[in-house]
């Protein structure tokens, strides 16, 4: 009799826990859905409320909730708060959260903390297995800002590969670097490629292409001016 009662109680407890777990899962999913809907409407404070509600339950979803909270805070101009939320998201996944690391890098850039931003983008690339094209582009930008031109070129080229060549800015920035190395033909091709990938709608690339062509023309004129004209054979005067 005792065994039957004990088994009944255990069965009842298991049933209650199962139902409770399902209710929690449903509530959690609904909180994320409401948060996403509010975000799409531009109601970032409401979205914050929903994502924070999701934090009341433990689980792997907490990293995602912290990340979404950070994005909302970023949209609201609360950059420092956003950075803290991205860090919480990273901590929840032991640093293996490429989107959160990339977002943290963007936030640090906005705060002009460029060295820290570079480290965050490197973390995003590592967490993605080297495939985060946008983070690779930002690493190129940070390397270029720091005067590390060779590293910048390598990062831009990796970003082109990983993005399947969908980041025209990589080609534009490569062109700027190639100009510095005096590789005018390669730079012109880079600017032309940037314009082609952007379907002609890329002001910086268009302007840079025009400047590159002017530079090439000026270099050509200088080279032409350096050619010397022979005065001919020495004159021989003879009487007729």
Q: pLDDT of 99-156, one tens digit each?
A: 999 999 999 999 999 999 999 999 999 999 999 999 999 999 999 989 999 999 999 9
Give yes or no for residue 16 having a pLDDT over 50: no
Name the CA radius of gyration of the chain, rounded: 30
The answer to whether the CB of 124 falls within 8 A of the CB of 94 is no
Q: What is the pLDDT of residues 125-140, one digit of tens each?
A: 999 999 999 999 999 9
60: CB partners within 8 A, 6+ apart: 92
Give yes or no for residue 96 having a pLDDT over 90: yes
Poorest-pLDDT segment among 6-20, 121-135, 182-196, 199-213? 6-20
pTM of this prediction exceeds 0.75: yes
The answer to whether the CB of 71 falls within 8 A of the CB of 82 is yes
């Amino acid at each position: 009799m005792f065994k039957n009662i004990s088994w009944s109680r255990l069965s009842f407890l298991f049933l209650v826990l199962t139902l409770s777990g399902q209710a929690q899962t449903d509530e959690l999913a609904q909180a994320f859905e409401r948060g996403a809907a509010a975000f799409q409407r531009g109601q970032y404070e409401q979205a914050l409320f929903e994502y924070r509600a999701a934090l009341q339950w433990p689980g792997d979803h907490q990293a995602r909730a912290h990340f979404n909270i950070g994005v909302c805070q970023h949209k609201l101009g609360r950059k420092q708060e956003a950075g803290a939320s991205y860090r919480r998201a990273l901590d929840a996944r032991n640093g293996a959260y490429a989107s959160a690391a990339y977002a943290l890098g963007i936030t640090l850039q906005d705060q002009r903390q460029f060295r820290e931003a570079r480290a965050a983008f490197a973390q995003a690339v590592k967490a993605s297995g080297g495939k985060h094209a946008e983070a690779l582009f930002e690493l190129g930008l940070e390397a270029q800002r720091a005067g590390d031109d060779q590293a910048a070129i390598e990062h831009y080229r990796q970003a082109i590969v990983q993005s399947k060549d969908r980041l025209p800015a990589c080609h534009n920035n490569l062109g700027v670097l190639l100009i510095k190395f005096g590789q005018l033909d390669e730079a012109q091709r880079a600017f032309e490629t940037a314009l082609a990938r952007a379907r002609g709608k890329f002001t910086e690339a268009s302007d840079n292409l025009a400047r590159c062509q002017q530079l090439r023309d000026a270099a050509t004129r200088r080279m032409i001016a350096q050619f010397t004209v022979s005065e001919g054979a020495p004159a021989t005067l003879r009487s007729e």
